[in-house]
Amino acid sequence: MKETYQLSGEYIALCDLLKACNVCHSGGAAKHFIAEGNVSVDGQVELRKTCKIRAGQQVSGDGFLIAVEAA
């Protein structure tokens, strides 16, 4: 799945982004998914659940890629 997320504010928390893009069905599931090391931000594994994702960054994992753009 490749998706573009239109960011309306300055940033979005990583767990909220995964939930908004339907990678995970809930915020709790997203936090668990991140803690297991399944998510990379700009090619680096990210373990911080509330990492601030800003426009221009890419979030990826097994089977998904989310490009974050300013709205």
DSSP state at residue 16: H
pTM: 0.93
Q: For the domain bounded by 2-70, which CATH number is listed?
A: 3.10.290.10
Q: What band does 71 get if pLDDT is binned at 50, 70 and 90?
A: confident
Q: What band does 21 get if pLDDT is binned at 50, 70 and 90?
A: very high
Query: What's the confidence (pLDDT) of residue 8?
Result: 93
Q: Where are the strands (E) in 1-71, listed by range?
A: 2-7, 12-13, 40-41, 44-45, 52-53, 58-61, 64-70
